Structure 1
Amino acid sequence: MEAMLTAYLSLLFLVSLVCCVPPPSRPPSRLCRRCCDQLDPPATTAHYQMPEVKTVINMTILKGDKGDRGDKGTHGKPGLEGPPGQRGPMGPKGSKGQAGAPGDACKIPQSSFSVGRRKSLHSVDYYQALIFDTVFVNIYEHFNMFKGKFYCYVPGIYFFNINIHTWNFKETYLHLMHNDKEKVILYAQPSERSIMQSQSVMLDLALNDEVWVRLYKRERENAIYSDDVDVYITFNGYLVAPSMQ
């Protein structure tokens, strides 16, 4: 009986202890609001902002040793040409060069030609150069076949000769020209028979002088004869003596 009383007292003591413990805190109940009422502004929550950390590197401490020189790059595009500069001072006199090889004592300047024409020609209303179509000799191409002119590339004394065949009953009237001046005439009166006529002259030529044959303009019946079988018209010239430089 005593044991039951002790157990009852112990249980009663435990119940009293439990009743003395305060209840846990509960959040306040939300108030009832109408849908038209304004809501309370949300409570601001304080945020903690982390400070910005910047790293500063002292380059003087990290600078290394100077590296090796790199390879030479390719050349760029050339720029615009600048204005010419002033003439510089005269340089020192150079050393004497070696003597050249001896020249050929027998080498003499040469210039000669011999051409012909196989077609007859009649005068027109203006002067015309006598053009040739056959080459016998033309050293260094000093005679221009397209223009019918000899060009002097070696100044000196030259010999020239012109041969033509006259036309029956027609006059023959030509000039041997030195540049734009008449030097000698080759002339034949009209005749029942055709004949060969010739004229020669020596001329002192300078560099780039021209020598050619000119047919007179048509003031009278003027013509020279030739055919495709034989060469009746020839023009020749050659250097006799070069000028002394």
Structure 2
Amino acid sequence: MGTDSLGSFWAVLLLPLVFGVPTEEPTFGESVASHLSKGCRRCCDPEEPLSSADPVQGPASPHFPYVLPEVRPYINITILKGDKGDRGPPGTPGKPGKDGPRGDRGSQGVKGNKGQAGNPGSSCQAHYSAFSVGRKTALHSSEDFLPLLFDRVFVNTDGHFDMTTGRFTAPLRGLYFFSLNVHSWNYKETYVHIVHNEQAAVILYAQPSERSIMQSQSVMLPLEPGDQVWVRLFKRERENAIYSDDVDTYITFSGHLIKAED
């Protein structure tokens, strides 16, 4: 027997001692079941270490019928990071939360610059008219109708009251207020009209008496531009007079515009 034949012979005798001799050759089904009993495993799962009892992987042969599982390389998927995806559409807004507590008042800000002047207001807002005049001289009526003239001016805006004629001329259409105050004369009748144009509007009257008294009358009149309001004494059967002196002013006549109308 040659040297090569002796080597093959001893290899055959020692092989069962290293790997063990199966008492019965496994069938194909038993081999598959042996692999399935260890469970399914992904290619990327870490490989379980072989125990000392596991045979070394190798090709099946009549002398080594076991087919060991294939050892696959371990791949760490955490390092396989793809490109950043596109931004998704915005989600549905959530419900508003509850109002928070009111904050503290802030510090006072810096004073701003002065603004520009506004446009002029409506011209009707600038319309006004007023007068107030007085008389310090007594007067006796010498004819049926005697205009009452005045010798003292308290107020006469824009000269709407004519001191020469004793008449107020309305500058605007609107509502006006007038008042008259006189002092009666002892034992003489006092009979005075407030006249609108040429028509008596109201009368101020006091009967003869041993005592002189202050009398007053007032009226509101709607006037058109150019209308006149004035005062006159009216003579009747009795003597008609009003009293005054150089010291005090007993006789006054006043009027003003209440509301202008377009």
Given the alignment of the two structures, is residue 123 of structure 1 paired with residue 141 of structure 2, yes or no?
A: yes
Consecutive unaligned residues of structure 1, counting only runs of 5 or more, are 1-100
Q: Which sits farther off after the overlay, 217-226 or 157-166?
A: 217-226
Which residue number corresponds to residue 89 of structure 2? Answer: none
Q: Which of residues 201, 217, 238 in structure 2 aligns to 1:199? A: 217
Q: Which of residues 145, 155, 158 in structure 1 aligns to 2:176? A: 158
Same amino acid, percent of matched pairs: 58
Rounded Cα–Cα distance in structure 2 between residues aligned with 1:125 and 1:204: 30
Aligned partner letter, 1:117: R
Deviation at 1:154, TM superposition (A): 1.6
Rounded Cα–Cα distance in structure 2 between residues aligned with 1:203 and 1:190: 30
Cα distance change of structure 1 residues 219 and 125 upon mapping to structure 2, 3 Å threshold: farther
Rounded Cα–Cα distance in structure 1 between residues aligned with 2:165 and 2:237: 24
Which residue number corresponds to residue 55 of structure 1? Answer: none
Q: Which of residues 190, 195, 199 in structure 2 aligns to 1:172? A: 190
Aligned partner letter, 2:225: L
Rounded Cα–Cα distance in structure 2 between residues aligned with 1:214 and 1:175: 5
Output aligned runs, 1:32-47, within 5 Å.
Answer: none
Rounded Cα–Cα distance in structure 2 between residues aligned with 1:200 and 1:210: 16
Deviation at 1:220, TM superposition (A): 1.5
Deviation at 1:105, TM superposition (A): 4.4
Deviation at 1:219, TM superposition (A): 2.9
Consecutive unaligned residues of structure 2, counting only runs of 5 or more, are 1-117
Q: Which of residues 110, 116, 121 in structure 2 aligns to 1:104? A: 121
Given the alignment of the two structures, is residue 148 of structure 1 paired with residue 166 of structure 2, yes or no?
A: yes
Higher relative contact order (CA 8 A, sep 6+): 1
Q: What is the CA RMSD across the aligned residues, in angstroms?
A: 1.4
Per-residue CA shift, 1:83-117, capped at 9, x if unaligned? Answer: xxxxxxxxxxxxxxxxxx94324833110000000
Q: Which of residues 229, 240, 244 in structure 1 aligns to 2:258? A: 240
Contact 1:131 1:148 in 2 (8 A): yes
> Taking structure 1 as the reference length, what is the TM-score of the superposition?
0.57
Q: Which of residues 197, 211, 215 in structure 1 aligns to 2:233? A: 215
Rounded Cα–Cα distance in structure 1 between residues aligned with 2:196 and 2:143: 22
Aligned partner letter, 1:103: P
Rounded Cα–Cα distance in structure 1 between residues aligned with 2:254 and 2:173: 17
Rounded Cα–Cα distance in structure 1 between residues aligned with 2:246 and 2:222: 35
> Taking structure 2 as the reference length, what is the TM-score of the superposition?
0.53
Rounded Cα–Cα distance in structure 1 between residues aligned with 2:122 and 2:240: 50
Rounded Cα–Cα distance in structure 2 between residues aligned with 1:102 and 1:206: 30
Contact 1:118 1:232 in 2 (8 A): yes
Which entry has the higher C-alpha Rg, 1 or 2? Answer: 2
Per-residue CA shift, 1:159-182, capped at 9, x if unaligned? Answer: 000000000000000000000001
Three-state SS of the structure 2 residue aligned to 1:228 is coil
Rounded Cα–Cα distance in structure 1 between residues aligned with 2:134 and 2:164: 13
Deviation at 1:152, TM superposition (A): 0.6
